[in-house]
Amino acid sequence: MTYEALAERSPDEVEAALRDGAPDQLATVVLAAALYAEDGAWAESVGLRLATHADPTVRGNAVLGFGHLARRFGALSPGAVARVDIARSDPDAYVRSQAEAAAADVAFFLSPPEPG
């Protein structure tokens, strides 16, 4: 695997990819939404729609996006947090690895600060 910078996608472009349903497009637009969207709730809804997708790359990237959203916005719905936890037991190794990365971000960015 090689790293490729993701291009920013507009909400209209993301929604068009969701309608089209091509897994290769879905795998990238879900991350683009998490990384660039100004509306965190909308980006989370995209992730929730794709976190149960049949394609493991789409599913894994959707879950990873929750970690990005936790970092960017400091908040996630209980449903998104639960989806990360569920994905840690996914049958696919890629999904599990993305879920572990997301779980670390969720724990770090959504945990209350230490008293002090």
> Could you write out the DSSP letters of every residue in the chain?
----PPPP--HHHHHHHHHH--HHHHHHHHHHHHHH-S-HHHHHHHHHHHTT-SSHHHHHHHHHHHHHHHHHHS---HHHHHHHHHHTT-SSHHHHHHHHHHHHHHHHHHSPPPP-
Higher pLDDT, 24 or 115: 24
Quick: pLDDT tens for 65-76: 999 999 999 999
Q: How confident is the model at residue 5 (pLDDT cuts 50, 70, 90)?
A: confident
What integer pLDDT is reported at residue 54 of this predicted model?
A: 98
Q: What is the pTM of this model?
A: 0.93
What integer pLDDT is reported at residue 111 of this predicted model?
A: 79
